[in-house]
């Protein structure tokens, strides 16, 4: 059973080859589309690599210049998107900051219990059904379709994403909003595969939890 929505594809993943072709011909509008699509995630990613927003903006600007002057040489061995983000990471590194490392658990933004769902949602050892749901989570099909994708619902999801610890936010945005693969994310953020899995697990769990609270009581959760 699945809910009634299709996943939105990014502009670049749908039209990448035509955008690339147009850009090679000097088409400004194609380049403009690219900038509008990626400037924000590039900036966000830059900010996780350098100490200030000002430097991050410089890094992004340098990245776009690199794209402009390098587009003729782009061979298409990776996706256009990956190529652009790699330029950004290289630019950030020339400003001499964070290196790849395995993160200590504390920096992964752990909840006190480290669990995806609060333990009080499950029956305890005093029950025959220990470890089972005390009450079932609401199934998305029980919510009217138009409400699932309403602006207010997206606002609640957005608010939950904004509340995430930095790296968890980076990972869920890169994965779900921008469609990067786990290995690309590891490369861009300088984290291990294990880190990436844990970060994504925690990020999606937190946002799911907020979404569920919103679906059950919209007036209380809202865009808080």
Partner 1 sequence: MIYDPIDCQALVELANDYLEDGLAAASRTDFELHLATCKGCIAYLEQLRLTSDLVSMLPRSRPDEGTLDQLMDEFRRRGPGSGDPQE
Residue ranges binding partner 1 (CB under 8 A): 1-3, 5, 7-8, 23-26, 28, 31-32, 35-37, 39-41, 61, 64-65, 68-73, 115-117, 119, 122, 130-133, 135-141, 148-149, 153-154, 157-158, 161, 172-173, 175-177, 179, 182, 197, 200-201, 204-205, 207-208, 211-212
Closest distance to partner 1 from the beta carbon of 163 (Å): 13
Q: Is the dihedral of CA 39, 207, 159, 198 positive or negative?
A: negative
Closest distance to partner 1 from the beta carbon of 137 (Å): 4
Closest distance to partner 1 from the beta carbon of 59 (Å): 13
Nearest alpha carbon to residue 160 among 219, 103, 206 = 206
Nearest alpha carbon to residue 85 among 179, 194, 203, 193 = 179
Taking CA 48 as the corner, what is the angle to CA 190 and CA 95, rounded to the nearest 5 degrees?
85
Closest distance to partner 1 from the beta carbon of 198 (Å): 9
Judged by CB, which is closer to partner 1: 25, or 106? 25
Contact 29, 47 (CB under 8 A): no
Judged by CB, which is closer to partner 1: 53, or 98? 53
Nearest alpha carbon to residue 117 among 213, 196, 189, 220 = 213
Judged by CB, which is closer to partner 1: 98, or 111? 111
């Amino acid at each position: 059973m699945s809910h009634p929505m299709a996943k939105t594809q990014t502009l670049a993943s749908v039209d990448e080859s035509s955008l690339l072709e147009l850009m090679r011909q000097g088409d400004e509008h194609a380049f403009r589309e690219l900038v509008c699509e990626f400037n924000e995630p590039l900036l966000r990613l830059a900010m996780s690599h350098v100490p200030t927003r000002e430097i991050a903006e410089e890094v992004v600007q340098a990245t776009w210049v690199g794209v402009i002057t390098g587009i003729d040489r782009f061979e298409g061995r990776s996706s256009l998107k990956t190529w652009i983000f790699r330029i950004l990471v290289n630019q950030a590194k020339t400003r001499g900051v964070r290196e790849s490392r395995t993160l200590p658990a504390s920096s992964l933004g752990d909840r006190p219990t480290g669990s995806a769902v609060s333990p009080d949602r499950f029956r305890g050892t005093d029950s025959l059904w220990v470890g089972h749901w005390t009450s079932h989570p609401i199934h998305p099909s029980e919510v009217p379709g138009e409400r699932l994708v309403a602006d207010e619902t997206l606002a609640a999801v957005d608010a939950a994403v904004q509340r995430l610890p930095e790296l968890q936010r980076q990972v869920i945005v890169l994965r779900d909003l921008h469609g990067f693969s786990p290995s690309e994310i590891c490369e861009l953020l300088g984290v291990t595969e294990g880190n990436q899995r844990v970060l994504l697990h925690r990020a999606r769990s937190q946002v799911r939890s907020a979404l569920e609270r919103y679906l059950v009581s919209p007036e209380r959760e809202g865009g808080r």
